[in-house]
Structure 1
Amino acid sequence: MEAENYTAVPFFIIKGISDNPKFQAPIFILVLLIYLFAVGGNIGILFLVGMDSKLHNPMYFFLGNLSVLDISSITVTLHKTLAIFLTGNKTLSFPGCITQVYFFMALECTELLILAAMSLDRYAAICNPLHYPMIMNPRTCAFLASVCWVLGFIEVIPHAVITNNLSCYTSNEINHFFCDVLPLMKISCSDTSLLKLWIVTEGVFVSGVVPLVTTLVPYIFIIRAILKVRSTSGRQKAFYTCSSHVTLVIVLYLTLYCLYLTPSSENTLDSHKLFSLFNTAAVPILNPLIYSLKNKDVKSAVKRQLHYLYCKMIYPLTLNFKKCEKHIES
């Protein structure tokens, strides 16, 4: 009978990143800058991939998908945090909370699958370079991306359904800056054994291990192929083309490990909040940052677009603009 007092939870109160009034303004400025930098950087990647014809290949097609995922993920998680700072309203409806849980998990799963697809693309490019254009043709790339998006949003539906059925809560205050499964489980007085079992079986092994294996196995063959290359410059070039992707994979999986696979005694709510902030804020920044600093094609594309902009501003006449374009291409 006591549990019945907690069955009706019309809304939750998001505690946020910090309760200390002294930290509110600095945290708001920091979060806003992180959000603007992440969104702006990923929009820049999308612009380059869309506008520069030399980036119209499978690698940058999947990179564009990653940018869309990063923009969506950071918006889903940080929009409420920014709204709290601006309006002071910390409440979030129960359906809104479950919706946030669903989209956060769906976007995370989709990103892992896209990274696996990028690994297959690198395998085809390095191990089968002569047949690469036929293997990774636009239709194949669109099919792989569609499968990743559909599977990512389908496989987390049970998570959201089970979480939605946690009707009993000891409190409606969530010690987090957005609705996530673990903080909800902490304040739930319902039986969470089914949700824990589903997280371990489907969440860890299906959503985590399968994409990880799919990502790592192609690199076994990639490394073998690279080691067979006789020239040092050839090996360095092959490793260089994979370094950005490998860096993103390592950072993302390490962050997810710290979030969901560390022992419960060590994975306190505060540490979970810290790793969640890094996962939702820093990872979307790393995508454009890594590919901008480490990728020669992206650097060249940025220079070309800046030069094209310069031509349009300085040489408005068609004849002069075409001459300027030819000069850039040369």
Structure 2
Amino acid sequence: MEKWNQTSNDFILMGLFPPNLKGLLPLLLIISLFVLACLGNSGMTALIFLDPRLHTPMYFLLSQLSLMDLMFISTTVPKMAYNFLSDQKSISFLGCGIQSFFYVTMAGSEGLILASMAYDRFVAICHPLHYPILMSKRICLKLIIGNWILGSINSLAHTMYALHLPYCSSRAINHFYCDIPAMLPLACMNTWVCEYTWVFVSKSLFLLVPFLGITASYGRVLLAVFHIHSKEGRRKAFTTCSTHITVVIFYYAPLVYTYIWPRSLCSPGEDQNLAVFNTILTPMLNSIIYSLRNKEILGAMRRVYGMFSSRKK
């Protein structure tokens, strides 16, 4: 039984694994995935920054996706590992709020950045002559800033509401991070206001609308791909679009099941398993998918490696 100070404002994170040797192996696996994700996404961001040939709207947006993935996985895994290895489960009230804020910000902003990437490909393939105007660096910068601002505002509103709720004697969150839907059942009041706001604002603005935009953009793009006369151009466009679509599926599949699927049909165990996929596996896979399936990224790796190798000689 977890010892708990009833007068404390701290929360308890029940964690993902049992606090024994059986839980150590999967924890070490997750830490390994965390290291790979950090290396992959930080490397991708640095690569785009260092190689002038990648200073285009498409890769600027990709660098933001990598940055978001890096922050996404760093929000949950270090605290989960620390709690397991230190044999404690507590997280401070302020720490819980900060974790919730960054998690929801990344989750919302990433959906918007994926929609921006879909728009970029739509303009590049369907309206190539107007691309320098419709996707100038200035417009790209506005999209990036807008995505971060909207994600932050949405996250701040939900986090502040969750932290101002009166909580009952139990503050044990049945999760491995401060997930707001997992916190609401602990409140000593009816939380229907937050739940309905979550449905009509967050789910619509940050999941449904971007998803519809992404679907429409890539649907139009895939039709246009078949009208490209150059075989190499058709192959390049199809590879780029299929890569983006794969990442979109990895992002939306667990979120739709977790936050749109009726809560009565989801068990806490399923929520945690999907959270592992969304917060740990997806950030790692995104960098791998983009690096292995993009010849320009592979070429940039060789150029940057050659640049540093020549400096050492």
TM-score, with length taken from structure 1: 0.88
Match in the other structure for 1:327: none
Which contiguous aligned blocks of 4+ residues in structure 1 show a shift greater than 3 angstroms?
6-9, 230-234
Match in the other structure for 2:128: 129
Match in the other structure for 2:175: 176
Match in the other structure for 2:246: 247
What secondary structure, in the 3-state scheme, does the structure 1 residue paired with 2:91 have? Answer: strand
Deviations, residues 223-249 of structure 1 (Å, cap 9, x unaligned): 232232245444322211212111111
8 Å contact from structure 2 (residues 19, 84) kept in 1: no
What secondary structure, in the 3-state scheme, does the structure 1 residue paired with 2:129 have? Answer: coil
8 Å contact from structure 1 (residues 66, 114) kept in 2: yes
CA distance in 1 between counterparts of 2:208 and 2:8 reads: 35
Match in the other structure for 2:29: 30
Deviations, residues 178-197 of structure 1 (Å, cap 9, x unaligned): 10012212333321111211
Q: Structure 1 residues 99, 311: closer, same or farther in 2, change over 3 A?
A: closer
8 Å contact from structure 1 (residues 123, 221) kept in 2: yes
How far is 1:45 from its partner?
0.2
Question: Pairwise CA RMSD of aligned residues?
Answer: 1.9
Q: What percent of counterpart residues are identical?
A: 34
Match in the other structure for 1:236: 235
Name the aligned partner's letter for residue 18 of structure 2: D
What secondary structure, in the 3-state scheme, does the structure 2 residue paired with 1:130 have? Answer: helix
Q: Larger deviation: 210-219 or 267-276?
A: 210-219
Match in the other structure for 1:226: 225
Name the aligned partner's letter for residue 21 of structure 2: K
Name the aligned partner's letter for residue 181 of structure 2: L
How far is 1:160 from its partner?
1.5
CA distance in 2 between counterparts of 1:182 and 1:86 reads: 26
What secondary structure, in the 3-state scheme, does the structure 1 residue paired with 2:18 have? Answer: coil
What secondary structure, in the 3-state scheme, does the structure 2 residue paired with 1:265 have? Answer: helix
Q: Larger deviation: 217-226 or 104-113?
A: 217-226
Match in the other structure for 2:60: 61
Match in the other structure for 1:192: 191
Deviations, residues 238-296 of structure 1 (Å, cap 9, x unaligned): 21121211111111110101211223333111111111111110111012100111111
CA distance in 1 between counterparts of 2:225 and 2:35 reads: 39
How far is 1:7 from its partner?
9.6
Q: Structure 1 residues 214, 9: closer, same or farther in 2, change over 3 A?
A: farther
Q: Larger deviation: 200-209 or 301-310?
A: 301-310
CA distance in 2 between counterparts of 1:7 and 1:157 reads: 27
Match in the other structure for 2:165: 166
Match in the other structure for 1:267: 266
How far is 1:309 from its partner?
2.9
CA distance in 2 between counterparts of 1:43 and 1:158 reads: 29
8 Å contact from structure 1 (residues 7, 167) kept in 2: no
Name the aligned partner's letter for residue 218 of structure 1: S
TM-score, with length taken from structure 2: 0.92
CA distance in 2 between counterparts of 1:177 and 1:244 reads: 30
CA distance in 1 between counterparts of 2:13 and 2:47 reads: 37
CA distance in 2 between counterparts of 1:27 and 1:189 reads: 35
CA distance in 1 between counterparts of 2:7 and 2:142 reads: 43
Match in the other structure for 1:215: 214
1:39 matched to 2:38: yes
8 Å contact from structure 2 (residues 42, 66) kept in 1: yes
Q: Larger deviation: 267-276 or 208-217?
A: 208-217
